[in-house]
Amino acid sequence: MAITVPQERLLTSRTTLRRNNAAEYLFLVPAVLFVGFTVLYPLAYNVVQSFQDVGIAQIVSGQAKYVGLDNYADQFGRPEFWESFGISLVYTGGTVLVTFVAGLALALFFHRDFPGRNVLRALLLLAWVLPTVVSANVWRWLLDGTYGLLNTVLGTEIFWLGAPSTAMIAVVLASAWSFAPFAMILLLAGLQGISGSLYEAARIDGAGAWAQFRRITLPLLKPVSLTTVLLCFISTFKTFDTVFLMTQGGPGGATEVLPVYAYKLAFSFYKFDVAAVATTMLLVVPVVLSVFYFRSLRKEELA
Amino acid sequence: MRRRWPKTVAGVLITFVYLLPVYWMLNTSFKKPADIFATPPQLVPLAPTLRSYADAAFGNPAIAKGLANSAVIAIGTTLVTVLVAVPAAYALARLRLRGVSVVLMLFLVVQMVPAVNLALPMFAIFSDLGLVNSYAGLILANASLAIPLGIVLLRPYFLSVPGEILEAARVDGCSTFTAFVRIAVPISRPGLITLAVISFLGAWGEFVFGLALASDENLQPITVVLAGLTNAFGTRWNDLMAVSAVVALPVIAAFVFLQRYIVAGLTEGATKS
């Protein structure tokens, strides 16, 4: 059905459209205000605090002195800070590695077409959405030194959360368990983007499964893999709850990652100023990483 | 066709092994105290009992209060998130101007912000505003990260709404707002459901904000209550697992009913943003 619009109506509708565009800007206002107040303002506040002398008295009075870079000098001069930084890197590196390998293995398996595949994929995500308090409790029980299921299965009697090195393995394991299904979903999306005809051609040329994986899957999955690793790094590097709930940062500070270190400075010792230094560092690392990532992406696009 | 079924069997096995921790939680929650420590461990509770649920999970007033608090906080967060994120996602899908990509980038980057980075300054800011130890404060804190996520997640749905339909509606006399409510929102229903579920579950399981912003036991979400009880329960793993199972229950239920939406939403959000 052809619709003829009278000329004058067309004109008014065009002006309405222009006005409507402005109205669509208004749709953004609540979100911008909200994010401004609950994210940007606290972040700025945090950075300001890192240059001030803030203890519990100043939190109550709301008045704090500026001390320049004193807090930074204080933290950067402390071995505990660097230890915590190193622990964060070990924890994050381990978790990203295990998450990526497990996520890729799951993705490769669940990419194949078989009945029930979609339901099983979704079920796996349960590990990812389970509240951390729940998974932390369950993992503590699984890892129990005397009666834990893991020891029974392995035939060992390891007090996983009692020694520094095994406690690190434990938090990495629990974190990777929650993140891997999410990595799987991202990688599955990547696998779907690889054309099946490439594999067919490779098969005709006599390439085996491993050769196909190395020569086709891995290279073509690279952009999605990089995104997955970056997202996983960012979310692990800032993880507070899994570690805090499983080990409280112990034993003997062995799993005191930067977020836990910062939290303890603030809420156990009321040193909000140096805690702000630690949390600022928590932001700097992922931002630097992302900048490199987006640069490499752009370079690849140009090449 | 015949060769596909072994893969299904293998897939079920992999999924079961992967989710063994969840099974072990449920299994333990139905055991009698003595049976928790049986060697070898009972793979199925031999004398199942609801004792832990009756005594620890539902019979404990602190836990009931925590569950109620979490429900209030999670529902509040969901409402605020949907009300704020949906129009913004729509605007970001419709507007074609340079400023849009900057705003979109902002919302993408905000998702990388660690909750601890917000919890610390929020404690100071909310202290001033009287929002510490209040539902409003906890809802604001939870929505802070859910809104940017929601916008990024929903935008692809609104992008897929054909512009012609919306323009036609306007020519027929719809205002921007009615076109949005009557046409764009219904078409994007799967995305909306995903967003509502994800923000509810996110707030339900949230821990850091609850820990930092609710020292008053009457306002603590169940996650904080449970973390506090963990040591009090000692080796009563059956009780601890029963409470954990109750906390996990809404998540499991939402998943059983809505997994299709959630997976589709995540895939869309992850690949098309």
Q: Which residue segment(s) compose the domain that B59 sits in?
A: 49-271
Peptide bond into B186 cis (omega under 30): no
Inter-chain touch B144–A234, beta carbons under 8 Å? no
Phi-psi region of A206 (alpha: psi -120 to 50; beta: other; left: phi over 0): left
The tokens for A68 are: 């320049």
Question: How many angstroms separate the CA of residue B213 from the nearest CA in chain A?
Answer: 11
Task: Tell me the C-alpha distance between A203 and A198, whole Å.
Answer: 9
- The residue extents of the domains of chain A are 87-258
**How many domains, in total, are found in chain B?**
1
What pLDDT, on the 0 to 100 scale, is given for residue A18? 44
Q: Considering only CB atoms, which chain A residues are within 8 Å of B92?
A: 28
Residue B159 lies in a domain: yes
pLDDT tens sequence across A64-73? 889 889 899 9
Inter-chain touch B115–A127, beta carbons under 8 Å? no
Task: Tell me the C-alpha distance between B156 and A189, whole Å.
Answer: 15
Question: Which residue type does B21 have?
Answer: P
Q: What is the average per-residue pLDDT within A196-202?
A: 90
Question: Which residue type does B35 have?
Answer: D
pLDDT tens sequence across B217-272? 999 999 999 998 887 787 789 999 999 999 999 988 888 777 777 666 666 555 44
Q: Which residues contact B170 (CB under 8 A, 6 or more apart)?
A: A13, A16, A17, A20, B176, B179
What pLDDT, on the 0 to 100 scale, is given for residue B269? 52
Task: Tell me the C-alpha distance between A223 and B24, whole Å.
Answer: 37
Residue B267 lies in a domain: yes
A257/B contact by beta carbon, under 8 A: no
Residue B224 lies in a domain: yes
Does the pLDDT at position A27 exceed 50? Answer: yes
State the ipTM, two decimals: 0.89
What pLDDT, on the 0 to 100 scale, is given for residue B170? 78
Residue B214 lies in a domain: yes
Task: Tell me the C-alpha distance between B181 and B175, whole Å.
Answer: 10
Inter-chain touch B262–A234, beta carbons under 8 Å? no
Round to the nearest angstrom and report the end-to-end CA distance of chain B: 36
Inter-chain touch A43–B116, beta carbons under 8 Å? no
What pLDDT, on the 0 to 100 scale, is given for residue A7? 41
Half-sphere exposure of B204 (CA within 13 A, CB side): 24
> How much of chain B is in helix, strand and coil states, percent to nearest 5?
80, 0, 20
Chain A interface mutation, best of B86, B112, B154, B175, highest count of A Cβ atoms under 10 Å: B112
Inter-chain touch A123–B271, beta carbons under 8 Å? no
A154/B contact by beta carbon, under 8 A: no
Residue B30 lies in a domain: no
Q: Which of B114, B119, B230 sits opposite A137 (nearest CB)?
A: B230
> B155: domain CATH number?
1.10.3720.10
Residue B5 lies in a domain: no
Q: Which fold has domain A87-258?
A: MetI-like fold (1.10.3720)
Burial class (CB in 10 A: 0-12, 13-18, 19+), B45: middle
pLDDT tens sequence across A216-225? 999 999 989 9
Q: Considering only CB atoms, which chain B residues are within 8 Å of A178?
A: none
Inter-chain touch A42–B122, beta carbons under 8 Å? yes
pLDDT confidence tier of residue A12, bands split at 50, 70 and 90: very low
pLDDT tens sequence across A101-127? 999 999 999 998 888 888 898 889 899
Task: Tell me the C-alpha distance between B80 and B76, whole Å.
Answer: 6
Question: How many angstroms separate the CA of residue B227 from the nearest CA in chain A?
Answer: 7
pLDDT tens sequence across A156-167? 889 999 999 999
Inter-chain touch A118–B12, beta carbons under 8 Å? no
